[in-house]
Structure 1
Amino acid sequence: MKNKLKVIDWQLLFIPVICILILCIFFVTNSLGSKRVLENVRFILSHHFNIYYMIIAIVFFGGSILLAFSKYGKVKLGTGTPEYSSIKWGMMIFTSTMSADIIFYSFCEWMMYFNESFIKDKSGNALEWSLTYSLFHWGPIAWSFYILLAAAFGYMLYVTKNKKQKFSEACRPILKHRTDGISGKLIDLIAIFSLIAATATTFSMSMPLLAASVGNILHINDQKALSLILILMVVGVYLVISILGMKAISRLSVIAFSIFGLLLLYVLIFSNQAPFITNLGVNSIGNLIVNFPQMTVITKVNSFTENWTIYYWSYWMVWCVATPFFIGSISKGRTLRNLIVGGYLWGLAGTYMSFIVLSGFGISRQSQNIINAVQLSNQGKSYADIIIQLLQTLPNYKIVLVLLIFAMVGLYSTVFDSITMVVSKYSYKSLELEKEPSKMMRGFWAIVFMILPITLLFNNDSVYDIQSVAIITAVPTGLVMLLIIGSFWKELRRNQEI
């Protein structure tokens, strides 16, 4: 037991927990004050540092394409054949990165955008542009954050074979011995704080939809109590699966992806709007391709880019401390080109199918005046209730609610399985590649991850306040991401010249 305790990095356990508890106490005891702090800091970052987020977006998207089709794209991660088949590998990539919030946003993000003057001022169909910007914010740039870092982590694990499985290890080529000192410790703390912010944002945004769906079926009206029960249930599921290990995670990924696919198929077929949805999707993708460069380069700050584009780049950035590590760890035997191209194909296919089908379904109901979702949202009705109302227009709508519930629980579980596994690895002073963290360590982080989202849910924080947590945390995370990519390129060029 003493030997097991010696290998644990206690600072990386206690410091985050203490800070989370202080933050939660501040949110609960000073609700209005915490809101003002979040709003002020968010405004400063979004309004004056937009160029920072734009540079990171360009570096990662351009860097991933450059790497894939350069001579380095042929570099193989380790030896032998891939551990997972292409299909299972692709499903694991999607389900380890896209949590249940993709279902929530796919159903209602177009409503949020439609109310923005920036979208209404666009020439053409405002509803079509709403979907176009969803595809942009959940598209190639978002996935480039994951994919390029996954290549860096995969290279670290299987080519240079670093002895430590830590976020800071990816910075060793530049930091050198400082990785083992305060600099490395600070990077690992930033990684853990970012991950806590990411899980809090995800749970807080999408849990009301899961609670509303379960409540509709079971006729339960107390949404807060139901949300708490569901959070505990999700934590229980992903805790059990993470303890069982990688085989259980891979199987759950297949199950979650399959149920998610059935949800999309049900909505597409029984909405009787397949031609409308398909046409809307094709037009929106066409809009995205034509306007992608000017959408990427934020030359003029406006309320839309502040509220949404910068938020999303921040959101993906805070998730980047764990999901890319997981993707890199399951990519042994693949080339960098295969990882990058395959990651984009699987990631964009799953994400775009979700938004085109689910947003297209809602937009079709709006266009035909069956449900005026935009008006309902303007009147203050919750997005979760509007989504339920939209689904009630489907035949046997409770079937689709059951699919939605299982898909959300499955996606929650697969994402948190992967991040619990990764953050547990970060918590050791050193952990050999073939070894997994202890069950107790994974259980500890499973519990820690639910503290902040429960606080945000019961503190009645608005969407804006919840998003602000991710934006603030993303600032130091982005600097570390750039440091990792710089280290990766340095190591890649050095090793290939030898």
Structure 2
Amino acid sequence: MSRYSKPGDSLDLRVFIPAMTVLVAVIAPLILFPESGPAMVNAAFSFATGQFGWLYMLAGFGAVVFLIGLAFSKYGNVRLGGPDDAPEFSYFSWIAMIFCGGIGIAIVNWAWVEPIYYFTGPPFGVEPKSPEAAEWALTYGQFHWGLTPWAIYCLPAIPIAYSMYVRRQPGVRLSEAARGVLGRYTDKWPGILLDSIVVFGVIGGVGTSLGLAIPLVSKLAGSLLGISPSLGLDLSILAIWTVIFGASVWFGLSKGIRILSDTNVILAILLLVFTAVIGPTLFMLNGWVQGFGQMLSNFVTMSTRTDPLAQSTFTQDWTIFYWAWWIAYAPMMGLFVARISRGRTIRELIVAELVWGSLGCWVFFAVWGGYALDLQISGALDVSAILSTEGIPATVLAILNTMPMPQLVTVVFIVLCFIFLATTLDSAAYVLASVTSHKLSGYQEPKRWIRIMWALILAVVGIVLIQLGGLKPVQTSTIVVALPLIPVLVILTISLLRWLKEDFGEQSRTAHMLIRSPDSETAGDAAKAPSID
């Protein structure tokens, strides 16, 4: 029997148990030591970003440079699959799944308010609330949600997809993509440790998303229902989310996650168009164009600014924090995007993330960020005052209330929030099920019971953390994990380059570069056999 024909979808306890042990080890101090536990986590975060901020900056800039070079090289033509591997999803659905899985609830939370933070606390010694501060506010939103974040997301996706669809190695895991460097140690404790850290990072990333989403939706829903946010309301909202993303995970990639992502993008476009039409359209367009140009002309400076002399906290509070955040999410995104990218070329994958992913985020910041900034500058609403005194959820609610038909807009926005987070959660549950399945091939989906188990685990973790008020420490813990992930990304890159040189080093550039291993046809046919749920 071919190794690919074996149903490799049983739960792999070698990865599952260490990952859950790490998760418990992080949550336990929050329960046992509610005061000192979060303080220790914050100290670790301050050390990581304070002492190694330069490393985060170099990692982000290096990812952009490497991927642009790879896209323009002959290796950009390498197809992630065999001769008969056509793309599994339409181009629109593929882009929608990448965007929704990678950005989730964060974009609808920060696009409104992040430019206001920059406007009141600008970089480079610019005077707060000045016209120059407004220009940098529109620039830094595009920088922090543009090329570098998507390059960080894309970097692990390519070697993972290469491992699954070109090398046909069993196992939808980060460790398999590092086999070009780890060799026989992939199946030993270094590989198991790597995959366990990835599982913890994914769970912690979900904690981050919940920490952003639940207070926001609770505030918006409470305003419509005339009730104050409470633990009961938070848990009810979490229950609705669990049902939505649990059903999506149950139906799998084509019937669940794809449909939810398509719906999410269409609804987001409608709300963005509505805001652009009723808002200061010309200001949004001019602001985006100027911010885009300013970002491009200052990209290298912004990508390498550590501010060692003036020692302002802007870079550490924003850029380094964000780069750590994206790196912490990168394994999940790499695994998910790799799984849905069979049949695409390396160049197509790089363009999908760096170009379309960045453009999607820029549209949100141009429209919603521009709308909020115009309210602030024109004096129609003191957004910065509400933000500093009442927080982000109250600020978003106040901004929505300035629009025509505010209650209807708020309802639509709440639905968008539900779908946006659900697309992140179902992607997370799917990835967790894949990583903890034993030798799952890239042509199989993990067993439904494992997918649902992870959906329930994520829900339980959310309940526990909401009751403890411990979402922030788990978010911070996840970002600390980003520090050791930087050398992991380097290992993945070296592994990919070794494979590319070995497989295509002597081949001249062609439109589609393919590899056919001796057993590729047999392996591919066997691997395409449906998994048993």
* Bin for the TM-score computed over the shorter chain: over 0.9
CA shift digits 1:303-355 (9 cap, x unpaired): 11111111111111111112222212222222111221132222012111111
Return closer, same or farther for 1:444/1:462 CA change in 2, 3 Å cut-off.
closer
Aligned residue among 16, 36, 55 for 2:19? 16
In the other structure, the counterpart of 2:512 is none
Give me the whole-angstrom Cα distance separating, in 1, the residues matched to 2:196 and 2:18.
8
Give me the whole-angstrom Cα distance separating, in 1, the residues matched to 2:449 and 2:471.
34
Q: Secondary structure at the match of 1:320?
A: helix
Give me the whole-angstrom Cα distance separating, in 2, the residues matched to 1:400 and 1:496.
53
In the other structure, the counterpart of 1:497 is 505
In the other structure, the counterpart of 1:213 is 220
Aligned residue among 130, 139, 149 for 1:132? 139
For residues 25-104 of structure 1, the aligned pairs below 5 Å read 25-78=28-81, 79-80=83-84, 81-104=86-109
Partners of 1:38 and 1:469 within 8 A in 2: yes
Shift of 1:383: 1.2
Unmatched 5+ stretches in structure 1: none
Return closer, same or farther for 1:124/1:112 CA change in 2, 3 Å cut-off.
closer
Give me the whole-angstrom Cα distance separating, in 1, the residues matched to 2:94 and 2:9.
35
Partners of 2:122 and 2:133 within 8 A in 1: no
Range moving further from structure 2, 77-86 or 47-56: 77-86
Give me the whole-angstrom Cα distance separating, in 2, the residues matched to 1:127 and 1:459.
38
Give me the whole-angstrom Cα distance separating, in 1, the residues matched to 2:188 and 2:9.
17
Shift of 1:461: 5.6
For residues 197-276 of structure 1, the aligned pairs below 5 Å read 197-248=204-255, 249-271=257-279, 273-276=280-283
Q: Secondary structure at the match of 2:380?
A: coil
Shift of 1:400: 1.4
Identity of aligned residues (%): 26
Give me the whole-angstrom Cα distance separating, in 2, the residues matched to 1:462 and 1:336.
36
Q: Secondary structure at the match of 2:214?
A: helix
Q: Does 1:373 align with 2:383?
A: yes
Aligned residue among 441, 450, 469 for 2:459? 450
CA shift digits 1:136-162 (9 cap, x unpaired): 111100000122222222211111111
Shift of 1:453: 4.2
In the other structure, the counterpart of 1:402 is 411
Shift of 1:11: 3.2
Aligned residue among 156, 176, 180 for 2:183? 176
Query: Which residue identity lines up with residue 413 of structure 1 in the other structure?
Result: A
Partners of 1:76 and 1:333 within 8 A in 2: yes
Give me the whole-angstrom Cα distance separating, in 1, the residues matched to 2:338 and 2:465.
32
For residues 334-349 of structure 1, the aligned pairs below 5 Å read 334-349=344-359
Unmatched 5+ stretches in structure 2: 1-5, 507-533
Range moving further from structure 2, 388-397 or 318-327: 318-327
For residues 381-460 of structure 1, the aligned pairs below 5 Å read 381-460=390-469
Query: Which residue identity lines up with residue 67 of structure 1 in the other structure?
Result: L
Shift of 1:456: 4.3
In the other structure, the counterpart of 2:365 is 355
State the TM-score, normalizing by the size of structure 2.
0.88
Partners of 1:243 and 1:442 within 8 A in 2: yes
CA shift digits 1:49-108 (9 cap, x unpaired): 112112211221111101000011111111343222222221121112111111001011
State the TM-score, normalizing by the size of structure 1.
0.94
Partners of 1:27 and 1:455 within 8 A in 2: no
In the other structure, the counterpart of 1:487 is 495
Give me the whole-angstrom Cα distance separating, in 1, the residues matched to 2:463 and 2:270.
30
Shift of 1:454: 4.0
Return closer, same or farther for 1:103/1:440 CA change in 2, 3 Å cut-off.
same
Query: Which residue identity lines up with residue 380 of structure 2 in the other structure?
Result: I
Shift of 1:297: 0.7
Q: Does 1:118 align with 2:117?
A: no
